[in-house]
Structure 1
Amino acid sequence: MTDDERDLADAQREHWQDTYAAHPGMYGAEPSAPAVHAAAVFRAAGARDVLELGAGHGRDALHFAREGFSVQAADFSVTGLEQSRDAARRMGVAERMTTVVHDVRHPLPLPDGSMDAVFAHMLLCMALSTKEIHALVGEVRRVLRPGGVLVYTVRHTGDAHYGAGTARGDDIFEHGGFAVHFFDRPLVDALADGWTLHEVHAFEEGELPRRLWRVTQSLPRSTR
């Protein structure tokens, strides 16, 4: 990691921490549409253990727990995870959800082949370099069991904010304090190398609206 990348990563961590503190439960209590889709995909695949990366204040992790999955929610924001634990206790699903403070620029703190499924809603398109994104997907592959499923969403280069704001290099642009790595289709395809790519589904979310891809891919069942 270069000094500029380290400075951006530190600034983004602080910005998200401050944002969650100022706006508790900022995304609401209802799960995102991609999480609802992912829960159905995970159930069809026979998954039991789910890891969410970039869980924030927990709206999607809580949905997985309510759906009966055993969930590990990871995020680099202590404040966001505190909010998710409080919500899990209120909803009576605390026994099915654990949290871990983790920056995905580092190896995942999980054993090989310990998860059935991984979900990440707009986590891969945060202020991560292409090299860091590839390393993270490699870590996801490591912790998944054979046949494991990854569902992730990313903002893509057709989004209105692509090219706007402050350019940080490597298709990363900072707008309104949030840095986003906008994906093109070759990057999605490269991340699916060695996986079965089931779908790249275009959808819109929120104001603007944000334009995203929902990507579903799985590992072979017989070999890693």
Structure 2
Amino acid sequence: MYGEEPSGPAVHAAGVFRAAGARDVLELGAGHGRDALYFAREGFTVEATDFSAIGLEQLRRGALAQGTDGWVTTAVHDVREALPLPDGAVDAVFAHLLLCMALSTEESRALVDEIRRVLRPGGMFVYTVRHTGDAHYGAGTAHGDDIFQHGGFAVHFFPRALVDALADGWNLEEVHAFEEGDLPRRLWRITQTLPR
């Protein structure tokens, strides 16, 4: 759907992860793996999770073809459940467009709590979401909690207050506005770190 090239947010994340000395990256919602494979090519050890076993199989085939299979592991996972990692297992977490899936605010808060649990002290979390300034916000079928279904796909559009709430207890390093796609979709790229 999105091609083989890494997303812009992944390229940015790799730079900030490297500058912070991160080695281990957890990608949530990895899909067929364009970003996970990029992280592996950049020298990170990657744990990639997704709800789709088919997408992760494509990711594994891609890693094998690129010679990065020793750097990438995968796990089928529903982010509404506890992350399949022990406490303090990774240096960084990346999630492009995952939190703005049809997850309730309560589910997003629980997920960010899980991300906090699996990160080491000083760990980084970079994620992207569509926000309430997006052209599709308010369009289609309303499901409450700023979730709207348009064209068969439900999106949770984030107000800025939710970004700030999810950063409570973190250091909020950046909220960067950008656009992507043909509409274009309007997004924020959020970078936050755990205190050491």
- RMSD over aligned CA atoms reads 0.5
Match of 1:28 in 2: 3
Report what 1:14 is aligned to.
Answer: none
**CA displacement at 1:91 relative to structure 2:** 0.7
1:60 to 27, 35, 52: 35
Partner residue of 2:138? 163
Structure 1: which 5+ residue stretches go unaligned? Answer: 1-25
Query: Counterpart of 2:65 in 1: which secondary structure?
Result: helix
Deviation at 1:207, TM superposition (A): 1.1
**1:163, 1:220 → 2: CA distance?**
36
What does 1:146-157 align with in structure 2 at a 5 Å threshold?
Answer: 146-157=121-132
1:132 aligns with 107
Residue 112 in 1 paired to residue 54 in 2?
no
Corresponding residue of 1:189: 164
Provide runs of 4+ in structure 1 moved above 6 Å: none
Separation of aligned partners in 2, 1:210 and 1:167 = 18
CA distance in 2, matches of 1:112, 1:215: 23
Give the drift of 1:165: 1.1
Code of the aligned partner of 1:63: Y
Question: In structure 2, what is the equivalent of residue 22 of structure 1?
Answer: none
| 1:71 Cα deviation from its structure 2 partner | 0.1
Identity across aligned pairs (percent)?
79
Taking the aligned partners of 1:92 and 1:27, their CA distance within structure 2 comes to 22
- The unaligned stretches of length 5 or more in structure 2 are none
Deviation of the 1:175 alpha carbon:
1.2
Matched to 2:22, the amino acid is A
Q: Give the residue type in structure 2 aligned to 1:126.
A: M
Per-residue deviation, residues 46-89 of structure 1 (Å, max 9, x unmatched): 00100000000000000000000000000001111111111111
* Deviations 1:155-183 (CA, angstroms, capped at 9, x unpaired): 00000010111111111011122111000
> Alignment partner of 2:56: what SS?
helix
More helix by share: 1
Helix, strand or coil for the counterpart of 2:13? Answer: helix
- Return the offset for 1:27: 1.1
Counterpart of 2:79, as a letter, is: V
The TM-score normalised by the length of structure 2 is: 0.99
TM-score by length of 1: 0.87
Q: What secondary structure is seen at the aligned counterpart in 2 of 1:169?
A: coil
Of residues 148-157 and 80-89 in structure 1, the stretch that sits farther from structure 2 once superposed is 80-89
Letter in 2 for 1:117: A
Total equivalences in the alignment: 196
